[in-house]
């Protein structure tokens, strides 16, 4: 039986405020870069239904289809309870630096909503990004779903379970790949009361697990995890990679030694890229997806 993930509580996550300080420090260098940031674009009616688009500046003309850029939609982590796209400006800047159009959505959190509502938000944001890709020089045929921690869970589940796009009344867009950083994919049993509630009732728990929806023909995946992660255990990614491989789905698994939960995403910040090879691995995956 797969080992459950340890999804630590909010008090543990914010115990010293160190991560908040990390975001502030990471975002200072990201405020200057070869990109245009389109802030707080609405994709729905709720105050959380807003996203930021990071459009690379450069020689690629918008009218030339051959020069259109990959689109990466990145959902933030925060245990499905907290977090904000503004904290991840360094992610948008890093992806724009790879000549990708980066889309960073907010979504409703627990306890305002439970699953499937935040997954419905994710589907709506993804559909908006696909529909508007060409306005920012993006290629709607090369759309990647990505995220960190809870955001990686959202990206993987949205890719593998078509019910969320169906609920939005739209067909599943072409997804070129999934990029998951420290993601929760296989985390039963649910041990914390709030997590049990957000994914409940108990008969619905299996629907929360991306690993249960793996199928032949799914898009390729890059799964990045720190070997020293004690919040979301590395077995989430190794178990997921094994099941993807068993179904013939191309997968690249990167387990970084001496790397903790937040380090995988922090390594996208300009001042912290020595922590892990996250940015280089994302660049390689987008340039040459596994087959």
For residue 273, what is the domain's CATH number?
A: 3.40.50.1820
pLDDT at position 119 is: 98
Which segments of 34-184 are extended strands (E)? Answer: 35-42, 50-56, 69-75, 101-105, 138-148, 175-181
How many domains does the chain contain in total?
1
Q: Is the dihedral of CA 41, 289, 282, 186 positive or negative?
A: positive
**56 lies in which domain range?**
10-287
pLDDT at position 20 is: 66
pLDDT at position 67 is: 76
In a domain, 2, yes or no: no
pLDDT at position 16 is: 39
pLDDT at position 58 is: 79
In a domain, 3, yes or no: no
In a domain, 5, yes or no: no
In a domain, 4, yes or no: no
Lookup: tokens for 20:
């908040």
In a domain, 76, yes or no: yes
* Whole-Å CA distances, 234 to 2, 10, 239, 255: 11, 20, 9, 8
pLDDT less than 70: residues of the chain = 1-20, 59-66
In a domain, 159, yes or no: yes
Which residue in this structure is represented by tokens 């890719």? 159
Query: How much of the chain exceeds pLDDT 70, in percent?
Result: 90
pLDDT at position 32 is: 79
Lookup: tokens for 181:
């950083």
pLDDT at position 12 is: 39
Specify whether the CB–CB gap between 154 and 179 falls below 8 A. Answer: no
Which has the closest alpha carbon to 222: 268, 282, 148?
Answer: 282
pLDDT at position 230 is: 97
pLDDT at position 6 is: 42
In a domain, 40, yes or no: yes
pTM of the model: 0.91
pLDDT at position 4 is: 40
Count other C-beta atoms under 10 Å from residue 183's C-beta: 33
């Amino acid at each position: 039986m797969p080992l459950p993930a340890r999804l630590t509580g909010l008090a543990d996550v914010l115990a010293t405020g160190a991560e908040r300080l990390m975001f502030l420090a990471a975002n200072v260098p990201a405020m200057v870069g070869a990109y245009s940031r389109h802030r707080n674009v609405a994709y729905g009616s709720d105050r959380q239904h807003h996203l930021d688009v990071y459009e690379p500046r450069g020689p690629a003309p918008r009218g030339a289809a051959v020069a259109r850029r990959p689109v990466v939609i990145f959902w933030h982590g925060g245990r499905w309870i907290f977090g904000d796209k503004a904290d991840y400006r360094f992610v948008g800047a890093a992806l724009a630096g790879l000549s990708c159009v980066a889309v960073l959505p907010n979504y409703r959190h627990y306890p305002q909503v439970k699953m499937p509502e935040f997954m419905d938000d994710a589907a709506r944001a993804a559909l908006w990004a696909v529909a508007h890709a060409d306005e920012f020089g993006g290629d709607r045929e090369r759309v990647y779903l990505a995220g960190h921690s809870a955001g990686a869970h959202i990206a993987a589940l949205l890719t593998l379970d078509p019910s969320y796009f169906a609920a939005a009344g739209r067909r599943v867009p072409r997804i070129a790949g999934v990029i998951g950083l420290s993601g929760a994919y296989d985390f039963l049993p649910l041990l914390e009361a709030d997590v049990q509630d957000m994914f409940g009732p108990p008969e619905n728990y299996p629907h929360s697990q991306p690993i249960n929806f793996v199928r032949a023909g799914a898009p390729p995946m890059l799964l990045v995890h720190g070997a020293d992660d004690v919040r979301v255990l590395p077995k989430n990614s190794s178990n997921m990679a094994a099941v993807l491989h068993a179904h013939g789905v191309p997968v690249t698994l990167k387990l970084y030694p001496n790397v903790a939960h937040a380090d995988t995403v922090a390594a996208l910040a300009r001042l912290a890229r020595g922590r892990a090879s996250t940015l280089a691995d994302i660049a390689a995956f987008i340039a040459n997806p596994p087959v």
